Structure 1
Amino acid sequence: MSTFFLAVGLVLVVEGLAYALAPSFIRRMAEQLPRLGDEHLRLFGVVALALGVGAVYLARHL
């Protein structure tokens, strides 16, 4: 359970950094999201998922 809370905490840190360091970039990205098709959003989601799984695998095995 502590690993779960660690993961949630790290996600919040990364999200917080994005909003703190580049709020105008985040706002522009949010405005463009409705213009993207479902295929592109799904592809971005799969890529993010794969990168996340790879990062977790590396973190656990290094």
Structure 2
Amino acid sequence: MDSANDLWAALALVLVIEGLLPFISPRFYRQSAEQLSALPDRVIRMIGLAVIVVGLVALILIRG
């Protein structure tokens, strides 16, 4: 059951982190979203893939 609790805790932490930027600096958040929307789909996919890979590597290093 620890794994389920860890998953929920991780998802809750993602929500907290995702909410920080729009809370602290809504103007910068809006500008970033506008710039992101101007990028081609291919670039956005590559950014997403890079974030996934970094997250998986970090998870492997942390959880061993």
Common fold, TM-score beyond 0.5?
yes
Question: What is the TM-score when the length of structure 1 is the normalising length?
Answer: 0.82
Match of 2:57?
Answer: 54
TM-score (norm 2): 0.80
* Structure 1 consecutive aligned stretches of length 4 or more whose deviation exceeds 3 Å: none
Please give the alpha-carbon distance, in whole angstroms, between the structure 1 residues aligned to 2:37 and 2:20. 24
Q: Which amino acid aligns with 1:60?
A: R
2:22 to 19, 22, 27: 19
Identity of aligned residues (%): 38
Gaps of 5+ in 1: none
Residue by residue over 1:7-56, the C-alpha shift from the partner in whole angstroms, topping out at 9 and shown as x without a partner, is 10110111121222222111001112221101110110011101111221
How many residue pairs get aligned? The number is 61
Indicate the residue corresponding to 2:13 in structure 1.
10
- Quick check: 1:38 aligned with 2:41? yes
